[in-house]
């Protein structure tokens, strides 16, 4: 049985502490034992200059040291221990692949951050960055696609590295177009390599599928057979928009059309949900909703470890006993006192 005594310390064998009650009894008994040793001799004056002077009156000091040594030894036998307690978390993490459209239409500036117009891709990366920061126990990766997919960020637990590599998600890397089916298939292949019990694809696009050899529905069926869930998000506002290109040119997007039916079907096949985001707040709310829906299961348990501390009082006991013996044999050495009769 262990008993706590101060903060994070306990006694492993506290019954030994009852022995401390015997020390005052020993001190009392020692105090009532006769006078200092003496030799009765009729001509004591002849011995007055012989040997050492009597020092029996200092015996109380050495006996006190012996009592302190005994007290330390008893404390050592009671085994003081330091308690080290910590919580261990075991998480069943989720593997999440953010699948992002990077076609030229993602450069349309119909979103606003702090009152300043920004393009759809900047708004998407802003919200994805916040989402990534909240998924501390999950492996997250990014697949980008235009006319074909590419992999700017492999699956990782390294949040800082992932955030830094968000800048690799940009337009102009692949030929233009919107190959939604190819993007889903690329994400499904990437997730299939993971051992996580739950796997999720979050698809974000501002257009309809017009490239690639695989339809979004067939890609979603492939993903579903691998046990993956798909959330789809249509981003942007309808209508005709101007697209400012990186080289300074401005082109017309044509009329913006969203294939909501296809995205709904993909989400249904993937046992997920479809969302529409026409402004930054809506996009933030969507990612917040998905964040709540896809929670990582975390199991906690408390682990208590102890560290022995008995060696400190044991060392003190040995040191005090050695000091008592040293004093007894040197400075406080006692000789019999000559008593004249």
Question: Is 171 in contact with 105 (CB distance < 8 Å)?
Answer: no
pLDDT surpassing 60 at residue 250: yes
- pLDDT per position as a tens digit, 112-155: 999 999 999 999 999 999 999 988 888 999 999 999 999 999 99
Secondary structure (3-state) at 215: coil
User: Which positions ≥6 away from 129 have C-beta within 8 Å?
Assistant: 163, 166
More confident residue, 51 or 289: 289
Provide the CATH number for the domain formed by 94-295 in this structure.
Answer: 3.40.50.410
Secondary structure (3-state) at 206: coil
- pLDDT per position as a tens digit, 79-114: 888 877 655 556 567 899 999 999 999 999 999 999
pLDDT surpassing 50 at residue 52: no
pLDDT surpassing 60 at residue 280: yes
User: Which positions ≥6 away from 195 have C-beta within 8 Å?
Assistant: none
Domain ranges across the chain: 3-85+303-340, 94-295
Instruction: Look at phi and psi of residue 141 and say left if phi exceeds 0, alpha if psi is from -120 to 50, else beta.
Output: beta
CA separation for the pair 242, 260 (Å, rounded): 22
Q: Other C-beta atoms within 10 Å of 54: how many?
A: 15
- What's the pTM value of the predicted model, to 2 decimals? 0.63
**Considering Cα of 117, then 122, then 127, then 129, what sign does the dihedral take?**
negative
């Amino acid at each position: 049985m262990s008993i706590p005594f101060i903060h994070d310390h306990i006694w492993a064998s506290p019954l030994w502490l009852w022995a401390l009650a015997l020390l005052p009894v020993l001190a009392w008994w020692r105090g009532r034992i006769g006078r200092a040793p003496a030799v009765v001799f009729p001509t004591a004056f002849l011995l007055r200059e012989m040997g050492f002077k009597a020092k029996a009156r200092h015996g109380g000091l050495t006996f006190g040291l012996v009592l302190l040594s005994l007290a330390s030894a008893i404390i050592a036998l009671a085994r003081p221990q330091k308690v080290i307690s910590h919580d261990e978390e075991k998480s069943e993490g989720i593997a999440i692949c953010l699948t992002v459209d990077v076609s030229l239409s993602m450069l349309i500036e119909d979103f606003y951050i702090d009152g300043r117009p920004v393009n759809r891709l900047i708004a998407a990366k802003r919200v994805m960055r916040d989402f990534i920061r909240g998924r501390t126990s999950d492996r997250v990766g990014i697949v980008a696609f235009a006319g074909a997919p590419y992999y700017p960020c492999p699956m990782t637990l390294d949040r800082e590295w992932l955030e830094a590599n968000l800048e690799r998600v940009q337009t102009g890397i692949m030929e233009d177009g919107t190959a939604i089916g190819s993007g889903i298939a690329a994400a499904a292949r990437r997730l299939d390599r993971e051992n996580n019990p739950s796997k999720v694809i979050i698809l974000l696009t501002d257009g309809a599928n017009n490239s690639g050899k695989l339809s979004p529905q067939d890609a979603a069926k492939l993903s579903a057979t691998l046990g993956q869930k798909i959330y789809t998000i249509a981003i942007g506002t309808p209508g005709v928009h101007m697209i400012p290109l990186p080289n300074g040119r401005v082109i017309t997007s044509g009329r913006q059309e969203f294939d909501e039916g296809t995205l709904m079907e993909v989400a249904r096949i993937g046992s997920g949900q479809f969302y529409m985001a026409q402004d930054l707040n809506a996009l933030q709310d969507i990612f917040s909703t998905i964040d709540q829906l896809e929670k990582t299961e975390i199991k906690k348990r408390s682990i208590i470890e102890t560290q022995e501390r008995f060696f400190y009082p044991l060392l003190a006991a040995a040191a005090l006993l050695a000091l008592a013996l040293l004093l007894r044999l040197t400075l406080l050495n006692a000789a019999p006192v000559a008593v004249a009769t």
